[in-house]
Structure 1
């Protein structure tokens, strides 16, 4: 479940209407309203699009999603990208984690 308060607070902080957020996230204003009032569940793609529209950083999105399965997968992928920038895999558990995330990404791409 996504904690909607950071998204709603950021929308208010930026002084954006639902229509403006919708235009930035390429969806309808009613959809944004349903997301931000909790009337509709958001997919991971929706969360990322909304975060992008509201200029919320990726680490903040990951923190927001950390209690969901998708959030843990995104966090693992983020850590993987950070690790790739800083060097190679150092342990077997890191390699296993990378394999798990790769499988998750393949499954999401084919869905």
Structure 2
């Protein structure tokens, strides 16, 4: 599974975040590793320099083999919180998707 990170110009510490988030993704989604070809993580700050409530966004897009891409979005007051919320969502979505696939 290839992991790709994208950030907008308002998110700092790209290399540090990428290293930390890669290890978190590997731990959380290890059981799906053979079923997902690529995972894209998009991090952004919707209000740029201004402060705001839940203005950090994380979109995680999983590309399962031989299936349509699956994407989830989460908003929070920090990039880390948004990432962990999105990671939980994609984990649940992938579990449900692959469980349904087994039934057929």
Higher relative helix content: 1
TM-score range, shorter chain: under 0.3
TM, length-normalised to structure 2? 0.27
TM, length-normalised to structure 1? 0.26
